């Protein structure tokens, strides 16, 4: 299929490589054109409007709400060339911006699927992402040949549901990782073998295994998910919970821990939450 990808950072670039290997015809756009050109595949468009005009499916994977608004609603934006495409919005930008762009895209006659993902670059490369899809069933089916190449589609509720569910998922990831960092440091300080401590922790939470080098050896690269990006997600999440009048003291405390970590390790992987304990052992 003819696929446009808006945003070719870590996740968008990995998606482009995966879809290119699956035989889809790609047109790429990135705010910094050189990043799209560096992938060495498909066509590179000068604007979002140019990228999407001839596409059947449009995937966007952008940094935050500001980047999403700029790509969809700004000058030469995707909305200006919307027609019969299916737009699959995969950014983690919160529910409010999704409502804005969905309205614009659908008023132009195109279809819109809210589809944030669970998983990082290795999951994209293996085709094992979980795609949380909220939108019209017919639109999901039209986009399925593209989206299924990236991973499993999980249909969720009404529009707005997928964005909120993704924030719940990332809050869980952050909370588990923060607790693991604390207990890894505490167990080691108590005289236990660090590998034994991590073995126990990862038996309860297998997702930790992908970041063992960070928790045990304090090596926070390569970066699969940066601390600063998780801080952005936690702020969005706690805002959603506050608006819902939900009591989330652990989520709030977790956000504050990551905000502290971001002061010195914002560009490192989220396992750098363990850096808080490097000079302050439990």
Mean pLDDT across the stretch 89-104? 95
Task: Please check the confidence at residue 137 and state whether its pLDDT lies above 90.
Answer: yes
Q: Report d(CA 212, CA 60) in Å as an integer.
A: 30
pLDDT given for residue 160 in this prediction: 85
- Nearest by Cα to 210 from 277, 128, 142: 128
**Reported confidence tier of residue 281, pLDDT bands at 50, 70, 90:** very low
**Reported confidence tier of residue 74, pLDDT bands at 50, 70, 90:** confident
Q: Report d(CA 119, CA 171) in Å as an integer.
A: 14
Task: Please check the confidence at residue 279 and state whether its pLDDT lies above 70.
Answer: no
Question: For 219-264, what is each residue's pLDDT tens digit?
Answer: 999 999 999 999 999 999 999 999 999 999 999 999 999 999 999 9
Query: Is the distance from CB of 152 to CB of 45 less than 8 angstroms?
Result: no
Task: Give the Cβ contact number of residue 276 at 10 Å.
Answer: 18
Q: Which helix (H) or strand (E) holds 86?
A: strand 86-89
Question: For 156-214, what is each residue's pLDDT tens digit?
Answer: 988 889 999 999 999 999 999 999 999 999 999 999 999 999 999 999 999 999 999 99
Q: Report d(CA 30, CA 36) in Å as an integer.
A: 6
pLDDT given for residue 158 in this prediction: 84
Q: Report d(CA 114, CA 134) in Å as an integer.
A: 5
Query: Is the distance from CB of 83 to CB of 109 less than 8 angstroms?
Result: yes
User: SS3 of 45, please?
Assistant: coil
Q: Which residues of 122-145 are buried (b: 16+ CB within 10 A; e: fewer)?
A: ebbbeeebbbbbbbeeebbebbee
**Reported confidence tier of residue 282, pLDDT bands at 50, 70, 90:** very low
131 vs 160, higher pLDDT: 131
Q: Report d(CA 215, CA 154) in Å as an integer.
A: 30
pLDDT given for residue 50 in this prediction: 98
Mean pLDDT across the stretch 32-40? 97
Task: Please check the confidence at residue 79 and state whether its pLDDT lies above 60.
Answer: yes
Please name the residues in contact with 76: beta carbons below 8 A apart, sequence gap of 6 or more.
Answer: 46, 47, 48, 49, 50
Q: For residue 136, how far is the Cα from the chain centroid?
A: 22
User: Could you give the percent of the chain with pLDDT greater than 90?
Assistant: 96
């Amino acid at each position: 299929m003819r696929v446009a990808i808006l945003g070719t950072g870590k996740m968008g670039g990995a998606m482009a490589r995966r879809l290119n290997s699956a035989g889809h015809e790609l047109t790429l756009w990135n705010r910094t054109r050189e990043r799209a050109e560096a992938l060495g595949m498909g066509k590179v468009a000068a604007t979002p409007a140019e990228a999407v005009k001839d596409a059947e499916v449009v995937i966007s994977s952008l940094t935050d709400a500001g980047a999403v608004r700029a790509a969809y609603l700004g000058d030469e934006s995707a909305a200006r060339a919307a027609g019969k495409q299916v737009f699959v919005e995969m950014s983690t930008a919160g529910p409010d911006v999704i409502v804005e762009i969905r309205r614009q895209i659908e008023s132009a006659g195109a279809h819109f699927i809210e589809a944030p993902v669970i998983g990082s670059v290795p999951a994209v490369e293996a085709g094992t992402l979980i795609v949380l899809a909220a939108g019209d069933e017919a639109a999901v089916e039209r986009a399925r040949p593209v989206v299924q190449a990236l991973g499993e589609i999980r249909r969720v509720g009404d529009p707005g549901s997928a964005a909120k569910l993704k924030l719940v998922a990332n809050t869980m990831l952050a909370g588990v990782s923060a607790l693991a960092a604390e207990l890894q440091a505490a167990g080691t300080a108590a005289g236990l073998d660090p590998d034994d401590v991590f073995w126990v922790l990862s038996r309860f939470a297998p997702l930790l295994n992908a970041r063992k080098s960070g928790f045990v050896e304090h090596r926070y690269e390569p970066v699969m998910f940066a601390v600063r990006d998780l801080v952005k997600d936690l702020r969005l999440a706690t805002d959603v919970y506050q608006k819902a009048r939900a009591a989330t003291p652990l989520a709030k405390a977790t956000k504050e821990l990551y905000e502290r970590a971001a002061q010195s390790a914002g560009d490192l992987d989220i396992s750098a939450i363990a850096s808080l304990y490097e000079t302050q052992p439990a």
